[in-house]
Amino acid sequence: MTTVQQRTPRPLLVPAVIGALILIAPLVGLLQRAPWSTLIERLTTDAVLDAMRVSLIVSIGAAGACLVFGLPLAWVMARSSGRGIAALRILVLLPMVLPPVVGGTALLFALGRRGLFGEYLDRWFGITLPFTTAGAVVAATFVALPFFVTTVESALRDAGTDLEEAAATLGAGPWATFVHVTLPATRSAIGAGLALSWARALGEFGATITFAGSLGGRTRTLPVETFLALETDPESAVAISVLLLAISIAVLVLLRGRWLQR
């Protein structure tokens, strides 16, 4: 038995094609201008390799921070209700729509050396986050966290409390239930959230440059390197962009293929 596919109403067709083109055309443009013959060469200069290393450390660190802090946050949001939680849900989404530069500035005001909390980090613990790799991780975590939390929270909500109740009647306390039932039941969503937040952290630019600055080998990530290369060596900038594009596509294909398919 095959279902007869519904015919697309004609008025939808043209806008649909235009919509798809808006998304696809820039990618084609980028690929068409990529310096294919010198791509490897341009991607293996010391500056780019340094940026790759920094990007890897920063993005993996940010994804790790999302897991450590985002998972408990997602759980609390999914399992609680009330006005405070509703407000929290909006706040958690904010970094998704906020210009990252604004986020970076806000981070400076909060965690910078002269910032609201940063002053005490500096005075009490001797920790200064700006202009350090750790600062870049903080900036990337700020923008990536919403992707992780929303993905995992909705999965926790969908899963509901049925299995958790079953575990409780079998004598499992809240922590054992979380570890042995909730985590395994939502592991695919956690994986998807990790991949999304990692990809977002890898592409992060505005908050990083504003909060952590840009120093080769320490805070200069691939997107920052791209931005600077545009000034003097646009072809290398495009080469790095192609690399970032390839990684993003790989992540999305992986997500579609393995996790989102059900």
Partner 1 sequence: MTLDLTGRVARGDLTLDIDLHLSAGLTAITGANGSGKTTLLRVIAGFERLDAGELTIDGEVIDTSGAGPISAAHERPVTMMFQDHRLFDHLSAVDNVAFAARRRRTPRAEARQTAMSHLEAVGMASLADARPRALSLGQRQRVALARTLAAPTRVALLDEPFAAIDESGRAAVRALLPAVDATYVLWVTHDPADATVATQHVSVDRGVVRQTLTR
Partner 2 sequence: MRRLAGALAALPLIVSGCSGSGDETTTVMVPSSFTDVTTDIDKARDVEIEWVIAGSSRLVRQLEDGADADLLLTADAETMADAAVRGLVDESLGIVATNRLVLALAPGNPGGINRLEDIARPALLIGICASEVPCGRLATEAAATWDLDIAADTEEPSVRALALKIAAGELDGGLVYATDALAFNLETIDNDRLAVFETEYPAAAIGDASISFFTFLTTSEGREILRDRGFGVP
Using the rule CB under 8 A, which residue among 55, 150, 177, 236 binds partner 1?
177
Residues 219-248 close enough to bind partner 2 by CB under 8 A:
219-220, 224, 227-232, 234-235, 237-238
* Residue count, binding to partner 2 (CB under 8 A): 31
Q: Is 238 in the site for partner 1 (CB under 8 A)?
A: no
Q: Is 216 in the site for partner 2 (CB under 8 A)?
A: yes
- Closest to partner 1 by CB, 181 or 196: 181
Q: DSSP assignment, residue 44?
A: T
Using the rule CB under 8 A, which residue among 87, 170, 250, 260 binds partner 1?
170
CA distance 96 to 79: 23
Residues 95-114 close enough to bind partner 2 by CB under 8 A:
108, 112-114
Q: What number of helices (H) and strands (E) belong to the chain?
A: 15, 0
Q: Is 29 in the site for partner 2 (CB under 8 A)?
A: yes
Q: What single string gives the DSSP state of each residue in 174-231?
A: HHHHIIIIIHHHTHHHHHHHHHHHHHHHHH--HHHHHHT---TTTT--HHHHHHHHHH
Q: Is 49 in the site for partner 2 (CB under 8 A)?
A: no
Using the rule CB under 8 A, which residue among 134, 172, 215, 230 binds partner 1?
172
What residues contact 35, with CB distance under 8 A and at least 6 apart? 42, 235, 238, 239
Nearest by Cα to 59 from 177, 147, 139, 124: 139
Using the rule CB under 8 A, which residue among 167, 202, 222, 224 binds partner 1?
167
Q: Which long-range contacts (CB under 8 A, 24 or more apart) does 73-77 make?
A: 73/145, 73/149, 74/148, 74/149, 74/152, 74/153, 74/156, 75/156, 75/178, 75/182, 77/149, 77/153
Using the rule CB under 8 A, which residue among 19, 29, 72, 184 binds partner 1?
184
Residues that bind partner 2 (CB under 8 A): 29-30, 33, 35, 108, 112-114, 128, 130-131, 209-210, 212-216, 219-220, 224, 227-232, 234-235, 237-238
Residues that bind partner 1 (CB under 8 A): 162-163, 165-174, 176-177, 180-181, 184-185, 187
